Chain A
């Protein structure tokens, strides 16, 4: 009898404990679901190299604690990789142009630089890169200064040379220092092809510190093979921040050298707009890389891109830049309204001009995005 009793009691205790645990878990789930409802989901979408990750990093810097030293240091290998890969692309490119181009002599390096070039090309093809040191930095610097490489760089868009090239090449000495810790700016320029999904949660801190809004920002890979992962994120999104690099109208894709990047962005934007889950989602279009666009548009006419073939320049200088920008903006607006069914026409749709590398611009832009989303919430709650 005693044994039975004690056994029963043992079971009963276990039961009670289990029930208590289950109840606790239930309560926690309920609490978190409630909290989740107030978290606004923001999704960064766009083609590869449109600047999504840079925006992501900027938000991190602005509204979170930024990057601590460990995180900063983790970018050293990324930057090294960027440098090796870039110089290899340029060197291999110069050989190709020297071989095929009519003006082949432009692309022929000096014999010393050829030696350096071969060495660096070999390093660049390895899986593991050596840490950048003084010696390598000097050699890379020499190669970079060679006129053949500069000529090749001028045709960089044909070779998929990344935008950060000039910045890193000009800073080689600093970057090769033994105790180098990357600066925030270095981190913003560092280029990693995002794969998978990255997220951060933040609360924008403004004048009124208790703004109460909590955002969760998701960054994704932009290349074609990454896009199939996007669809899992499409539920319950408050706003899509679509990044389009407007300087890319004369460039082709990394993953498909036949396809013009701007046309790719156009089709992608169209596809995103038509997604069923985005019926009530706000769309913030960031026309990014304005700084590069500014310099390019006066030299390369917009009509090289099929989408912009009806463009007519009106003037020169700053006015022309503005005019070209307005033209592109109108094209995107036109696309938006063509791709939006009548029942969705009341979605918030705003276009912003950004330069993701400029923290001030990103901060101001985000302030506006925040204001728009807050107003939208008030409107939907019937308070406006």
Chain B
């Protein structure tokens, strides 16, 4: 016969040699995956710590928990399971709430209860506890493994050169991408300043792209950001933005945007032809939509700096953005329109908008099409352009169906400022037409609809 031994509060049968396949104890049951949870792993040797079930459940936050552990009322794992006379088990607090509401039935079977006693389901409790403990121990061990690996990699990086350096960076990047805990370890062990120091005037693309890929996902403090903002490092990022893979380009874009949030940021750093031309190239690359989004996002942040707005117009960004509009997704559209609207506040921006043939038709199409913000920006742009050259532009706009769209805006639930602007624009456009002709232009035709 077997001798059950007590080990760390859990009944364990001599599984080391018995091997007769019988489920004799809690640990084996859970270990072998009888309950449908994830199998395998190390038997919870640390259970003796008397871990709090609630704490473990929250920390683990696992998506797949065995269904028998879940309370039918809250659909959350149970902390204090109790069983009714119908044999159904619920979380104590939930079922008590149910009773307090005046119900005397079993929620799942709908039967009326013939016995109002509630029995704590100790068996189930033990199972839940053991299962979570195992998962928790596993997670802790993995986390320590990860932390250990990260430490190792950082030590390697302090000395490695050439290919070894690139390899270490690559591995670190992968570890950080998979394990959230790794990020914290990197920061704690001084990884940020170490990796940042690798970025210099002679940094190769291979090293630079890996370094940026790591840094962009980390929490950077003020000091690190200031360090990264120095011209040589920004210059390196701009280089990689121009020459790297899409992933590298996006990483550089996101990192620069992060750095711009710092209040010490000087707009001189981003006042660079190479940066803006590179960004526009990214934004125009139709094959990679996430590139377009991050590119536009950075461009938007950049355009908030007055000094750089003029430069943006000078590299021909306006017509390029206008041409892009029809193909953009809604979130990108809003960004692009915001940028164009901001640039329209400059005289050269207005001129560029006017000179581009497709500005007016594209803007008219976008009114009341996508979102209120888009409508606001499109309207503002149309306003700028029409004010600049009223005769020329308003006729083009009206022919493109502007009048009908403006009426839509006025009749819609948009904010009053928008409606006000629409009616002003409508008035401006109507100046060149007789009343009858203008009214005919206001009709919504099929194409405009």
Contacts and interface: CB of A to CB of B under 8 A. Distances in A.
**Is this pair of chains taken from one and the same complex?**
yes
A330 B315 contact: no
Interface SS, B side: helix
B87 interface: no
B140 interface: no
B204 interface: yes
A371 B274 contact: no
A371 B243 CA distance: 11
B202 to A, nearest CB: 4
B202 A384 contact: no
B231 A337 contact: no
Given A345-B277, A372-B243, A384-B245, A337 B205 contact: no
Interface in B213-241: 231, 235, 239
Interface in B249-300: 268, 271-274, 277, 281
B243 A334 contact: no
A329 B204 CA distance: 20
Interface in B173-210: 201-202, 204-206
Contact of A372 (B163, B205, B315): B205
Contacts of B21: none
Contacts of B235: 329, 351
B36 interface: no
Nearest to A364: B202
B100 to A, nearest CB: 66
Given A207-B163, A365-B202, A375 B243 contact: yes
Contact of B239 (A336, A342, A350): A350
A337 B202 contact: no
Contacts of B239: 350
A322 interface: yes
The winner among B202, B231, B235 for most chain A CB atoms within 10 A is B202
B397 to A, nearest CB: 28
Interface in A314-361: 322, 326, 329-330, 333-334, 336-337, 342, 345-346, 348-353
B243 A368 contact: no
Interface string B119-157: 000000000000000000000000000000000000000
A367 interface: yes
Contacts of A207: 162-163
Contacts of A345: 277
A337 B276 CA distance: 11
A332 to B, nearest CB: 10
Contacts of A334: 273
Interface in A51-78: none
A337 B242 CA distance: 14
B243 A348 contact: yes
Given A207-B163, A330-B272, A371-B205, A337 B243 contact: no
A372 B243 CA distance: 8
Contact of A333 (B162, B206, B243, B272): B272
B316 interface: yes
B204 A337 contact: no
B262 to A, nearest CB: 18
A307 to B, nearest CB: 16
Contacts of B274: 333, 349
B216 to A, nearest CB: 21
Nearest to A334: B273
Contacts of A336: 273
A351 B315 CA distance: 19
B266 to A, nearest CB: 10
Given A207-B162, A207-B163, A330-B272, A353 B205 contact: no
Nearest to A323: B231
Interface string B63-99: 0000000000000000000000000000000000000
Contact of B281 (A346, A351, A352, A384): A346
Given A346-B281, A350-B239, A384-B245, A322 B231 contact: yes
7 contacts: A329-B235, A337-B273, A337-B315, A350-B239, A365-B202, A371-B206, A372-B205
Given A365-B202, A371-B206, A384-B245, 4 more contacts: A329-B235, A330-B272, A371-B205, A372-B243
